[in-house]
Structure 1
Amino acid sequence: MNFVHRSTAAGLQRRRVRALAAIPVAIGGLSAATLALAQPNTGSLPETVVTATRTQQRLSDAVADISVIDRATIERSGAEGVADVLAKVQGIQIARTGGQGNTTSVYLRGAESRFTAVFIDGVRVDSQATGGATWESIPLSQIDRIEIVRGPAAAVYGSDAMGGVIQLFTRKGEGVAAPYVGVGVGSRSTYKAEAGVSGASGGFDYSLGVSRDQSDGFDVRTPNVVHNPDKDDYRNTAGNVRLGFQINPNQRIEGTLLQSNLNSGYDDFGYDPSAPVDDRNKYRLRTGGLNWTSQWTDIWRTKLAVTDSSSRYETEPNFYKTETQTRGYLFQNEFRMGPHLITADLERREDQLQNAPGVGFFASPGIDRERSQNALALGYGFSQGAHTLQLNARHDDDSEFGGKNTGSAAYGYAFSPAWRATASAGTSFRAPTLYQRFSEYGVSGLEPEEGTNYEASLRWTPQPSSSLSLTAYHNKVKNLINFDTTSTACQSFFGCYANVGRAVYEGVTLAGTQRIGDWSLRGSIDWQDPRDVDTDKLLVQRARVYSSVGADVRVGTWVLGAEVVASGKRYADPANTQVLAGYGLLNLTASTPLADGLTLLARIDNATDKDYHLVRNYATAGRSFYVGLKWAPKL
């Protein structure tokens, strides 16, 4: 199926099917244990992550295939959205119908966007209408750090984590009060402004931030399609608050809140030149969480968390409105005894979908449905000397379809200080969305999509500034939910959702980084074969090869950077008859401190003004310029 705009897809859901596909955007290299586009961490404290096992661990001890992106990397990238940052990470491709503010999908190792579990400060973000996070609504300006786990993690997180997990973190207050202010301008009347402050005092830590992004954009449709030829602009206003209090050395409470409001233009089907309209997307994303962590004894630690997210989407003047609310409760237990770590988690997830009734010729009934999942998850980790072992098992009991068991096992062996090999296997699932089950196209008896994954990796890290990794994976999914136009199992004469698909996502990733004097080099290449098992055709909008090479060099006070990203050809239809040509893009960056705490950043994207297409019948930006100033004094 062709990848289409989310708002257009909403209408097509009422008519035929929400189309899902991927479009590769070539990525920048990250080794499995290094930072992308950033200098290696050479400080005294080792880099730690929490997403792989839901517990804090050293990145070097993790058996999972993990990447970390810090705030400095985000700022130097000059990227406009979260997906643009992720598109520079090995094993990740993105898709977008036009410019910023339009439907965006993120694909880990070629897997469907809905197969990635997404969290903001531990709060799950999902849509029970389309499936998966609404990436276009997540404000990059409020994100301080990103952790990416490639490969299924359902034995830790439950439903959704079939392709991987991406967790985004906002800034945490530390030290004395640290204010920041940033402004920037770019092509197509792009303007950005942000401000905030963070700090800590007397056991209390805080972080607050606000931002505003806007642009006139460009016409997102190609000339061969009848549409409104206006510029499709966007404007986003966002803010977040993160507050924490250390009650005593063993007790801490923390609260987080984030909200983003996005208004963007798109071009719907059925355009009438005699009566032009300005089609608008309206997104509101809100996340909130309250956490209490306690160290009861030397070996026993607990975390109690209550989280809530709301993802609302509507269009005008062609009205469509949907809202998903996801609430979570987590009681997490950690028992650390020397090299052993035992975890036991009780978790509850509640989803609610509200769809307003459709209007006009394609009128549809409204939806007001909810479901819940209760889970018990157990884990065992061992790390000592050259050996690392991670075992996880989980049972989810869904209020609609019953129980589901998942498990995973991973082992790592460092056969020298520089060389380490890992291997893992795991199962995963994703429960059908409430829309897939209860809309006019829905079938209440749909089964969960199920996956089985195997992978192996070899990493060479002769020194902190050098790394090379080779990872191979094979992820097979059955009960894939597709739209079956021949089915009569629902009330729609257009067809119904059905468990009729099977797919295999397999491939090999080679990635590396190298520091030579003032030069920092990076690169990655992905060979993949995401394929429909039943037709033996490549999945829509996925290239078999995509890569990136980049370099940064320090010249005096300046840091100059260049990257070349490339993608092979893709197919725009399931029959593999409509070809989207491959492409290569050149991006340039430059940054320098101007005064104490004041930094200048300049970026040119698509420097050669390459004419290319990510999605059939949708345009992409040409050459783009951006210049920004940020004041963040070091106190």
Structure 2
Amino acid sequence: MGTQPSKIALLISSLISFTAFTATAEDLGASSATIDETITVTGSRFDRTVDQQLTVINTIEREEIARLNPKSVADVLETLPGVSVSRNGGAGQATSISVRGSNSNHVLVLVDGVKVGSATLGTVSFNTLSPENIERIEVLKGPRASVWGSDAIGGVIQIFTRELKGGEWFAGAEYGSNDYVRGSFGAGMNHGDGNTTLAVNHEQSDGYDVYNGAEVENDDDGYKRNALSLKGSQQINQNWQALWNGQYDKGNTQYDDIYASGSADESDYENYLWSLATQYSREQFTSKLAVSQSQDSNENFRGDDASVAIAEFETKRDQVNWSNQYLAADDLTITGGIDWSREQVRGDYAQDERDLFGAYALIQKQWSKLLAEVAVRYDDVENIDSETSYNASLAYQFNEQWRIAATTGTAFKAPTFNDLYWPDSGNSDLISETAESYELTLHFNNQDLRAYISVFQNKIDNLIAWAPTGEQDDFGWDIWKPANINEAKITGVELSANYQLLGLEHQLGYTYLNAENKQTDEQLIGRSENEFNYLLSYTWQQFDLLANYHYQGKRYAGYEQYLDAYHKLDLSLGFQIDDAWSLRLKANNLFDEEIISDQNYFSPGRELFFSVSYQAF
């Protein structure tokens, strides 16, 4: 471990040199700077341009999602630096998302501003979300508990559903490998000074045998996925606006369980969310009040009798969010608000509901080329503890193209209901997992190149893991329960570059990661030291071509074993017949590489898909 700092220093030096060279290369024609008008909201809950954000936020728009033609949200997220994906098979199987080496339950996931996920497991079922109903994704890197509260240790992922204007509509159909079938439709409707978008999607696939072991379950593991989203707004008068949105996902997944003794396994899910909000805007002041509810429900079945569930998990979360922003001056912005939520779970738990309360404030101040931001939040989690989180950031703009930003912050993750109250094995004495992070990021931006290099460190304490209690049961077996016994230190370098060269669009992302369990001095399970993604796109007349290459370094699997590194290449070819009709041919895993991102579970081999779509805009 003593060589790691020198390795990081060498890597930083090399990447900075590469970024600087690319930025000044004659082929790019880098001359006058341009302002990136991309708007993000995840950093502060209100619209801000990229140059106003002091944390790294990656965005993926609808156009790029359509060209990627993904079969899961994980396929989209995997193209981003610092985001790592682990799958128990294909698009319909359980999927874990790690941001900058953090655990999968250390990422806060929002859909149109509403927190989603299970309060029993503490994770989000990404395999239940339909990419066709997504307009935009924002991924904020690093802790942001100071604005969003619990879970935002590694980052925040916010998904925005489709949004169309009145008279706009789309329809699409697709067929592909493993008898994959998709049909989708969406339309926008005007009503006075407002509009509403309705989008629906259906997908199904016969799947394939995802587990490496015929003696366990020798069957195909298919899935069905249905999604409905509704999103709208109405301008009541000059100052008041009403907003609403809803999302409904229902489906079935067949999977392989190593403990199933040869029986078929499947799972039904039914998830939804809705939100009603009103927003008041006047001159320098904006206030938004939102009331929402989300449900995460899952039933597992085994064997021939698919009418009796062997396990049921359900989370309902009621939420009230009041957010305010005041532009005190051209160079001073004050943001603050209050969050309340009630989590309820179904099951034989000693405690089946809890209230969470949070209050936060954020101040951003500009002095000429210097931009500073401080955010503080207080959270109280019923029957557990209270946490105070902060973020402090400082950025200096050297010129129109170069900027450097430094950030430090804290975050926490409240224990789940399973951790605290699972019958006979929960530990109600647990406290929240906590984290402290540091980050330094160098940005470059002009008309042909947008790039950044970020060096980060995240220390996570009080990690919850199973441990012997020192007691024994009636049969003499040691009793194990969750305990706050682990700590981790994650250090890394993240590089992103989007540029034009030789008539081609290039997008590359690279992450170096040293994720260490400080209790055992071993690498954290499931992490890769090196991960690289490269998107190459080209447009010629009515054709467009997108090549997506992904390299995943070897992953530590525990007990001194590693999962093999792998390469994956996807190709997407589109043809625009006219202004409305288009065709697309997609090939995943073109070289049919054997991919295992989670031990003994195969990702799909080579797959082919053909789609046709119509868009009226």
With normalisation by structure 1, the TM-score equals 0.88
The residue matched to 2:151 in structure 1 has which SS? coil
Offset at residue 368 of structure 1 (A): 5.7
Offset at residue 93 of structure 1 (A): 0.4
The residue matched to 2:577 in structure 1 has which SS? strand
Equivalent pair of 1:228/1:267 in contact (CA under 8 Å): yes
- Aligned residue in 2 for 1:6: none
Q: 1:620 to 1:405 in 2, by over 3 A?
A: same
Which residue identity lines up with residue 602 of structure 2 in the other structure?
A: A
Of 487, 491, 501, which residue of structure 2 is paired with 1:516?
Answer: 501
Q: What runs of 5+ residues in structure 2 fail to find an aligned partner?
A: 1-18, 20-32, 303-308
Of 328, 332, 340, which residue of structure 1 is paired with 2:332?
Answer: 340
Task: Work out the percentage of aligned pairs sharing the same amino acid.
Answer: 26
Q: 1:413 to 1:442 in 2, by over 3 A?
A: same
- Aligned residue in 1 for 2:244: 255
The residue matched to 1:156 in structure 2 has which SS? helix
**Superposed CA offset, 1:502-541 (max 9, x none):** 0112100122111135310121211101110111111111
- Aligned residue in 2 for 1:455: 439
Equivalent pair of 1:172/1:205 in contact (CA under 8 Å): no
Offset at residue 319 of structure 1 (A): 0.7
- Aligned residue in 2 for 1:609: 592
Q: 1:525 to 1:323 in 2, by over 3 A?
A: same
Offset at residue 344 of structure 1 (A): 2.1
- Aligned residue in 1 for 2:144: 153
Work out whether 1:177 is the aligned partner of 2:167.
yes
- Aligned residue in 2 for 1:622: 605
**Superposed CA offset, 1:420-442 (max 9, x none):** 10000001101101111011321
Structure 1 Cα separation of the partners of residues 582 and 267 of structure 2: 34
- Aligned residue in 1 for 2:267: 281
Which residue identity lines up with residue 239 of structure 2 in the other structure?
A: N
**Superposed CA offset, 1:92-120 (max 9, x none):** 00111111221111100010011111110
- Aligned residue in 2 for 1:588: 571
Structure 2 Cα separation of the partners of residues 389 and 44 of structure 1: 20
Structure 2 Cα separation of the partners of residues 270 and 294 of structure 1: 54
Of 44, 53, 65, which residue of structure 1 is paired with 2:56?
Answer: 65
Which residue identity lines up with residue 264 of structure 1 in the other structure?
A: T
- Aligned residue in 2 for 1:429: 412
- Aligned residue in 2 for 1:396: 379
Offset at residue 240 of structure 1 (A): 1.0
Which residue identity lines up with residue 70 of structure 1 in the other structure?
A: E
Q: 1:569 to 1:178 in 2, by over 3 A?
A: same
Structure 2 Cα separation of the partners of residues 78 and 123 of structure 1: 25
Which residue identity lines up with residue 435 of structure 2 in the other structure?
A: G
Which residue identity lines up with residue 399 of structure 2 in the other structure?
A: S
The residue matched to 1:464 in structure 2 has which SS? coil
Structure 1 Cα separation of the partners of residues 324 and 451 of structure 2: 35
Of 292, 309, 327, which residue of structure 1 is paired with 2:318?
Answer: 327
The residue matched to 1:166 in structure 2 has which SS? strand
Q: 1:74-93 to 2 correspondence within 5 Å?
A: 74-93=65-84
Equivalent pair of 1:328/1:347 in contact (CA under 8 Å): yes
Offset at residue 43 of structure 1 (A): 11
- Aligned residue in 2 for 1:533: 518
Equivalent pair of 2:139/2:158 in contact (CA under 8 Å): yes
- Aligned residue in 2 for 1:264: 253
Alignment root-mean-square deviation, CA: 2.0
Structure 2 Cα separation of the partners of residues 55 and 122 of structure 1: 11
Q: 1:602 to 1:489 in 2, by over 3 A?
A: farther
With normalisation by structure 2, the TM-score equals 0.90
Work out whether 1:211 is the aligned partner of 2:194.
no
- Aligned residue in 2 for 1:229: 218
Structure 2 Cα separation of the partners of residues 507 and 517 of structure 1: 31
**Superposed CA offset, 1:161-219 (max 9, x none):** 11110111112343x31111010111110011100101434212100011100001110
Equivalent pair of 1:505/1:531 in contact (CA under 8 Å): yes
The residue matched to 2:352 in structure 1 has which SS? strand
Q: 1:384 to 1:250 in 2, by over 3 A?
A: farther
Higher RCO structure, 1 or 2 (CA under 8 Å, sep 6+): 1
Offset at residue 58 of structure 1 (A): 0.7
Structure 1 Cα separation of the partners of residues 455 and 289 of structure 2: 37
- Aligned residue in 2 for 1:34: none
- Aligned residue in 2 for 1:361: none
Which residue identity lines up with residue 525 of structure 2 in the other structure?
A: V
Structure 2 Cα separation of the partners of residues 45 and 197 of structure 1: 29
- Aligned residue in 2 for 1:190: 180
Of 280, 283, 299, which residue of structure 2 is paired with 1:294?
Answer: 280
Offset at residue 298 of structure 1 (A): 1.9
Which residue identity lines up with residue 164 of structure 1 in the other structure?
A: G
**Superposed CA offset, 1:246-274 (max 9, x none):** 1012110111111001201012234445x
Structure 2 Cα separation of the partners of residues 95 and 468 of structure 1: 26
Offset at residue 285 of structure 1 (A): 1.2
- Aligned residue in 1 for 2:537: 552
Structure 2 Cα separation of the partners of residues 473 and 167 of structure 1: 21
Q: 1:367 to 1:486 in 2, by over 3 A?
A: closer
Offset at residue 489 of structure 1 (A): 10
- Aligned residue in 2 for 1:306: 291
